[in-house]
Amino acid sequence: MRNGLTFELNLGIAWLNARDTGQSETRTSLGGLDIGLGGWLSPQMAISGRIAGATYTKDGSSLTNAFFGPSIQFWANPHVFVGGGLGLGVLRGTDGLGNSDSVRGWAADLRGGFKFNEGSENTVNVSLEINPAHYSQNGDSVTLTSVAILVGYQHL
């Protein structure tokens, strides 16, 4: 176990916080669908490409804060892991009419989790994932942070 390829898939509930010019607002959101695909560098450490984030939806409109980039996962013991990475942030908004716009910035991916089953290549876990991101466009800037509680699958 823990050699070759690894694949992750997570889904859960999130809180999406937007902060600009001293104002802050938090909304309950959908966490995930987070995906990771990579390989093992050692039995305790994997590196992967990861997509993570949260989407808030209301009345046909949506706002998504997403992370795209490399992520390292370290297993402290057979059940506990931590991970993180730096990469591209994408803030995408859509309205109820199908119009959309997106802004790119920088983002981070920070997470920790617990794997329930042992001795299997196919595992189930729970994790906490935080994705802070900063976006600037036309002199305006906003910081979005999504905090998600996820249930996941990982092929070790």
Task: Give the residue numbers spanning the domain of 131.
Answer: 5-155
Count of structural domains within the chain:
1
Burial track 120-154 (b if 16+ CB lie within 10 A, e otherwise): eeebebebebbbbbbbeeeeeebbbbbbbebbbeb
CATH code of the domain in which 27 resides: 2.40.160.20
* Residue 76 three-state SS: coil
Cα separation, 92 vs 67, in Å, equals 12
Q: Inform me whether the pLDDT recorded for 25 exceeds 90.
A: no
Report pLDDT digits (tens) over 124-134: 999 999 999 99
The model's confidence at residue 21, banded by pLDDT at 50, 70 and 90, is low
Cα separation, 87 vs 78, in Å, equals 28
Cα separation, 38 vs 55, in Å, equals 24
* DSSP-assigned beta bridge partners for residue 130: 110, 147
Average pLDDT over residues 134-151: 91
Cα separation, 73 vs 85, in Å, equals 9
pLDDT for the residue numbered 1: 61
Average pLDDT over residues 64-83: 96
